Amino acid sequence: MKTTEINDVFYVRYKKVAIGSIEIFYREAGDPKKPSILLLHGFPSSSHMFRNLIEQLSSDYFLIAPDYPGFGYSSCPDPAGFDYSFDHLADIMEQFIDTLKLHDITFYMQDYGGPVGFRIITKRPELVSSIIIQNANVFLEGLGPHVQKIAALTDAQDFAGLDAAIEHMMTLDGIKEQYVSGTLHPDRISPDSYYMDHLFFEEPGKKAIQKILFANYGSNFPKYPQWQSYLREHQPPMLITWGKNDNIFPGSGALAYKKELPDAEVHLFDGGHFLLEEYGIQVAQLIRSFLNRQDMLYSK
């Protein structure tokens, strides 16, 4: 292979693929023959949150980061004719996986990526090579003050207060809070992150879609026991990197995984919800080390 061809593989490629009647945008980098890492983003972000990690790992792995429908550069079909639920997002992402013919996947899940990814892997455990968790919760004890506040407003049927809280989360100030809150090094948080998210939310119809998904978020809690059972029965190799000061999913959510996966590798950082913005270099190093050990283990 020529030097220019080798270098070409490392560049990020920006693509779209048709899944039914919609287009899914995704970022891709690395050699497709290398081990695959599927990067599933959270709220209020998109595949943009993985932009630096993709470049840091592309020399050794094949990285794929899609935007869900209604997020980033993917299609935003009218809610009148499209089911914006976590069940349906997972169905679309499963079709995305099959369309790209991905297998033996390391699932990287952050925030919304948790309920999307766990729906897929409990249905299709044969797809899983290993799991990387970043502030993605599947335990009730991992629900932080922010989630509890939203739940209290819902229980009190304070719909005006609930709507105001959700609206604030989609303002520039509200999005910035989610990136900066709990960080030890706020000067490491690139303004590109929260300005990009805000820019997407200002597009027509985007905020209405997010409100529908917020209303559906409660569908995840009854599935926690099922996802915990998957972990207990399958014992997938797992790396957990977590910002322990996250007021959405605090460090207790990371430690809870050890109940079902005693061998899970847990790293708590003095950071917030969007760990990659503050500790991206360290997380990339941990991922390399973790996946190298898995490769050595299974090559024996």
Q: Tell me the per-residue pLDDT of 225-243, one tens digit each, with 9 for 90 and over.
A: 999 999 999 999 999 999 9
Assess whether pLDDT exceeds 60 at residue 5.
no
Give the distance from CA 136 to its chain's centroid: 7
Contacts of 298 (CB under 8 A, 6+ apart): none
Among this protein's residues, is 48 annotated catalytic?
no
State the pLDDT at residue 162: 85
Task: Name the one residue in this structure whose structure tokens are 């959270």.
Answer: 42
When pLDDT is averaged across residues 14-18 and rounded to a whole number, the result is 98
Distance CA 239, CA 269 (A): 13
Count of structural domains within the chain: 1
Assess whether pLDDT exceeds 90 at residue 285.
yes
When pLDDT is averaged across residues 149-176 and rounded to a whole number, the result is 90
If pLDDT is split at 50, 70 and 90, which confidence band does 300 have? very low
Give the CA angle between residues 92, 96, 102 to the nearest 5°.
Answer: 140
Task: Count the Cβ atoms, other than its own, within 10 Å of residue 163.
Answer: 13
Q: Tell which wins on pLDDT, 149 or 33.
A: 33
State the pLDDT at residue 156: 85
Q: Does residue 83 come out as left (phi exceeding 0), alpha (psi in the -120 to 50 range) or beta?
A: beta
* CATH number of the CATH domain containing 181: 3.40.50.1820
If pLDDT is split at 50, 70 and 90, which confidence band does 158 have? confident
Tell me the pTM.
0.95
Do strands 62-66 and 36-40 pair parallel, antiparallel, or not at all (unpaired)? parallel
State the pLDDT at residue 10: 84
> Considering the chain, what percentage of its residues have pLDDT values greater than 90?
87
**Token output for 142:** 């991992």
Model pLDDT for residues 90-146, shown as the tens digit of each residue: 999 999 999 999 999 999 999 999 999 999 999 999 999 999 999 999 999 999 998
State the pLDDT at residue 265: 98
Assess whether pLDDT exceeds 80 at residue 8.
no
Distance CA 266, CA 288 (A): 15
Q: How many CA atoms lie within 13 A of 42 on its CB side?
A: 21
Hey, which bits of the chain come out as E strands? 13-19, 22-29, 36-40, 62-66, 105-110, 128-134, 238-243, 265-269
Q: Of 41, 48, 146, 273, which one is the catalytic site residue?
A: 273
Domain coverage including residue 251: 3-298
If pLDDT is split at 50, 70 and 90, which confidence band does 297 have? low
The mean pLDDT value of the chain amounts to 95
Give the distance from CA 72 to its chain's centroid: 13
Assess whether pLDDT exceeds 90 at residue 294.
no
Contact 245, 216 (CB under 8 A): no
If pLDDT is split at 50, 70 and 90, which confidence band does 186 have? very high
State the pLDDT at residue 298: 63
